[in-house]
Amino acid sequence: MTTVTSGKSMTRASDSLDAAKLLDMLRMMMLIRRFEERTAQSFMQKQIGGFCHIYIGQEATAVGSIFALNPGDPVITAYRDHGHALARGMHPNHCMAEMFGKITGCAKGKGGSMHMFDRAHHMYGGHAIVGGQCPLGVGLAFATMYLGEEKVTVCYLGDGALNQGAFHEAMNLAAIWRLPIIFVVENNSYSMGTHIARGTSMANDLATKAHSYGMHYAECDGMDVLNTYDVFKPLADSVRGSTSKAMGVKEEKGIGPAFVNCKTYRFKGHSMSDPQKYRSKDEVAQFEQKDPINSLVNHLIERNHATQEQIEAMDERAKQIALDAVKFANESPFPGVEELYTDVYSQPFGPYKVGELPIMLRENP
């Protein structure tokens, strides 16, 4: 039950990826990077309100794991969710428009930065209360098992969520019912300004968290998209479609749930208002040397999968898409005040009304 996999000792799943797929991964990481730069800028310009958590530095984690999934596998995450939404296939325009509070946003401007939902792409949200998404992820996995579907749910959490009760209850339920779910700790070492060693027991050995629930454990270098993919691809295929005798089946399938410690680093502050007094500039600089995008670029160039010119053209394209997203968000209208009373109830009463689906779903149902 307690296999440790690191992705390095096995035949690498990424070896079978062709150049086109690798370039897709790079394209997505570049898009997230350039998109997030525009997000931060738009926040500074007060076009984005509320809390805003930037994904820069962690791109390999979302991209390496989500590229290892099937399109219908449910994904759910916490509040630093722009990267997952884009990697899952959400159009950048609807992602940016949501942060601008516009009617063209994925949630018609009702959710904001921390609530990226995309039903067509099986993205079950961004959730803003730390750890609160873990039981929801277990519910998604339960539903796929209940319906007999061959799916794996991926539930992301930050290392700060490791100390929430909801996380532990979710781990326990997943384990006793062998649910097809992978809990992914995006371990960037900091829950806001608190280093993991100050807030989490056994911080230097997170395998103990998985093992205490009898759950499979794996870890990966979340700064390395290929290593992340190498760990997730075989793991997702083993977990997918798991069943349990506790739910009445005669023969159990799959390996049941798993827990992945994805070691990563955020290059920016916790949120846009973070002065970052809790870590040194040297520490940040050290991790910037391991930039996940540069690593994949070097890999591609070394293997002649791409030229420097192609890479630069791809980056220019990512910048343009991000700029277009800001333009789209800027030019979109705010929701009308009548939207206040829609989407409160599916079967409304009194002042409430049924809402129209977001334009995002009307274009891509």
Partner 1 sequence: MTRELQFRDALREAMIEEMVRDERVFLMGEEVAEYNGAYKVSQGMLEQFGPRRIVDTPISETGFAGLGVGAAMYGLRPIIEFMSWSFCLVAADQIINNAPKMLYMSGGQFGCPIVFRGNNGAGGQLGSTHSWCVESMFATVPGLKVAIPSTPRDAKGLLKAAIRDNDPVFNLESERMLGLGARGDRDFSRYLHGKWAPPSVEEDSDFLIPFGVADVKKEGTDCTIVTAGRPVHFALEAAEHLEKEGINVEVIDCRTYRPLDIETIVRSVKKTNYCVVVDQCWPFASIASEIAMQIYERAMDDLDNKVIRVNNDDVPAAYSFPLEQEMLPHARKICEAVRSAMYVA
The number of CA neighbours under 13 Å toward the Cβ of 137 is 34
Which of 37, 169, 252, 274 contacts partner 1 by CB under 8 A? 169
User: Closest approach of Cβ 143 to partner 1, in Å?
Assistant: 4
Is 124 a residue that touches partner 1 (CB under 8 A)?
A: yes
* Contacts within 8 Å (CB) and 24+ apart, 304-311: 305/19, 305/22, 305/23, 306/19, 306/23, 306/26, 311/26
Site string for partner 1, 321-360 (x = CB under 8 A): ---------------------xxxxxx-xx----xxxx--
Which of 30, 60, 173, 218 contacts partner 1 by CB under 8 A? 173
> Given the rule CB under 8 A, which of 101-109, 213-221, 271-279, 294-302 is the region that contacts partner 1?
101-109
Residue 301 structure tokens: 């160039």
Which residues, 6+ apart, have CB-to-CB distance to 98 below 8 Å? Answer: 105, 106, 107, 109, 111, 112, 113, 115, 116
Which of 132, 193, 214, 241 contacts partner 1 by CB under 8 A? 132
The number of CA neighbours under 13 Å toward the Cβ of 96 is 28
What phi, psi does 126 have (nearest 5°)? -65, 125
> Given the rule CB under 8 A, which of 12-20, 122-130, 222-230, 304-312 is the region that contacts partner 1?
122-130
Please give the Cα distance from 10 to 3 (Å, whole number): 13
Is 139 a residue that touches partner 1 (CB under 8 A)?
A: yes
> Given the rule CB under 8 A, which of 38-46, 128-136, 226-234, 263-271 is the region that contacts partner 1?
128-136
Considering the complex, state which of residue 213 and residue 265 has its C-beta at the smaller distance from partner 1: 213
Is 260 a residue that touches partner 1 (CB under 8 A)?
A: no
Reduced to 3 states, what is the DSSP secondary structure of residue 156?
Answer: strand
Please give the Cα distance from 15 to 307 (Å, whole number): 20
Where do we find the tokens 């898409």?
321
Per rule CB under 8 A, count of chain residues that contact partner 1: 54
The number of CA neighbours under 13 Å toward the Cβ of 93 is 13
Considering the complex, state which of residue 89 and residue 132 has its C-beta at the smaller distance from partner 1: 132
Which of 33, 91, 115, 266 contacts partner 1 by CB under 8 A? 115
Positions touching partner 1 (CB under 8 A) are: 74, 76, 105-111, 115, 117-119, 124-125, 127, 129, 132, 134-144, 146-147, 165-166, 169-170, 172-173, 176, 246-248, 342-347, 349-350, 355-358, 361
